[in-house]
Structure 1
Amino acid sequence: MDLSTRRLPYRGLAATVLTATALLLLGGAVAARPDGRAVPVITVSERDCGSGWTPAGAGPQSLRLSDTARDPAEVYLIGSGDGEVYAEVLSLLPGVPRGLSTTLGGGRYALRCVFTDGTVRTSPSRTLTGRAEDPVLGVLPLPDLDLAGPVNAYRRYVDGALPGLLADSRRLDADTAAGDLARARTDWLTAHLDYERLGAAYNSFGDFDGAVDGTADGLPGGTADPSWTGFHRIEYGLWHGQSAAGLRPLTRGLVGSVQGLIADFPSADIDPGDLPLRSHEILENALQFQLSGSADYGSGSTLATLGANVQGTRAVLAALAGLITPRDPGLLDALDGGLTALDTELAACRTPSGAWIPPAALPLARRQQLDSVLGGLLEQLSTVPDLLQGRPSA
């Protein structure tokens, strides 16, 4: 699917995800309406946004857009009164016609053209009469500055969690210094889960992320590569017979890396646009690396990591709640239900003694149920980035 043209998600139906998408017309191909008539060309220019747009009434809409200006444009189909966005075409290039389809209910609508040189034009309002079956509901535009509050809230969450990560990393280091590998295995998991709860901040940690939680993937020497450090390297040693003396430089290095991360984080940038993406990507990555078991270097604890990723996702959603609720009042409750269902499934993936069962060792029915719950939750979460995409001039 070309994500540069979208029919926006239904607001209020949090359990469905992008039930329709915008239509992309390649090159100068001529589109047709459902009744067989050709779709008229709608002109976009610096002087006139939407010339030629004459909708007949409520129902399915097909628009063919042609940018005759010098600069590319973003085109939004908006409600005339509240400015809600009902459909959009991003990166409309001069001389390259594009198309968009959607379904609108009765009301007043306009087209807004935002050019890369900063020019913004809005068409006169058009009134659509009648009723439509299953019309798209609009999404409130989102200026970039509106994400500043959620980003600051998430920074406070990370700031509050980092001291615990450092304390637990030091405890792990003390275990190897004392030669207590049994305790080190327990304390390794505690410290690692501290880090895994910080899922939305990884891009802001820079090189510290690789030093703290890098895997052996891509390293020239694989698991024997001398540059490999951090939690997974320590995990490999703890569960592959390495001595406490051999592990001590690694645990001491982990403490140093966490200290460096803490010192650097106040000056680190969190891209506001990344936060809505992380609400979905944390568990998407967990599906790829944790549920598959590919990130397991011997501890068998990837489902514990998945549980920590659930907590990290909840933290992101809590920071974004003030922006999500006005745009989709039922979405947070639906996501909470999905996250709770996943927590329940994970709780059933432990032995009577409390040990985590590796994904590959789960009974088939349990594994299939876990896959199903996580897959359904990811579909729900995928609405958040679209809902909170920056639309500063829409």
Structure 2
Amino acid sequence: MTSPRFFRIALVLGLLSAIGPFAIDMYLPALPAIGTSLRADIGAVQMSLTVFFLALAAGQPFYGPVSDMVGRKPPLYFGLVLFAIASVGCALADNIQTLIVLRFLQGLGAAAGMAIPRAVVRDLHTGNDAARLMSLLMLVFSISPILAPLVGSGVIAVAGWRGVFWAVTLAAVAGLVLIATSLTETRPAHQRVESSLRSALSAYGVLLRDGHYLGLVFIGSFAMAGFFTYLANSSFVLIDHYGLSPVVYSVAFGVNAASFFGAAQFNGRLGERFGLVRVVKGAVGACGAVMVAMFLYFLLGGDSMWVLLGLYFIASGLMGLVIPTTSVLALEKHGAIAGTASALLGTLQMLTGAVVMAIVGLFTDGRPLPMVAGMAGGALVALLLTWLTLGGAARGVQALAGRSA
């Protein structure tokens, strides 16, 4: 593949992947305003975020096998159309219950853009090349958490929180145009011959019996759960507890997101030098140490916003080394069922994040400690799973990564 085409594919896939998260990140500065407008408490407003993650988890097992059977593009069209229709409904919602239902439908549509681009990466590459493409995809994807909160703050200032949903509707329409004009089919007809509903169910059976695959998936899932906990709680902590304006909050959020996606660009280079497995093990260990330090600081009575933002900036960068790399390693041996494997990976990541968010939500009081406890807990579980998955099995995986380099 020529370098310009490599970057073009990363751009297209990254933008498609970002549409769903854009509907999360633009939405974050609006959470307090939505609660006031719809007369809903913090828990109910957070539920409108949680159900979006649950829908992302529920939708991906559908899109993955379908993309193996009919190709990658048709389910992308379907998902973005559903996303656009639900977004219009969210913009018109007049109570929190309606908003929650429509956010679930919106998440079902967004699930297509989460599951299928990873399968396209696996269609095209494996090993360090896949890590490079996945990291470039993440770089484009970073447009969402870096710019979306700022854009959301601007939209809210001009058009109120409902304007956020009109904006993401336009993003979905742009995504449809992008699929039609810039994405070629990477699952040609001759590769779909063996794909059917029965083969999809069989593939899920294979994946669920593959302990190594599941271990890698859950390492990334629990690392990502800390990020999801921050998503759900940071606006209340930074805006209500520390007194930041929505715009300044958006800048702070974007800086930490930039750390994640900036660090991810080193995955290919670090993988070539040290092996992808060693990258994961080192980054997970360091992230766990940083998160525990943050938790102990707040547990012992600390309350500095700068400590929170500084330590999370470091942890975000380390997660940028973990999450794309574990995805590449998990899909490495499952190219024939890449759509299904990617869908299950995404589903388990979203479910893990939603469960952790819901648990932390039970203790949320607007202060940093419950949020930090959830983030640290996710990092420690990821560390334990890394030891179990890549400890005794590390030699075999390193050999696989080395052959792919």
Return the TM-score normalized by structure 1.
Answer: 0.29
The structure that has the greater radius of gyration is 1
Higher strand share: 1
Higher helix share: 2
Higher relative contact order (CA 8 A, sep 6+): 2
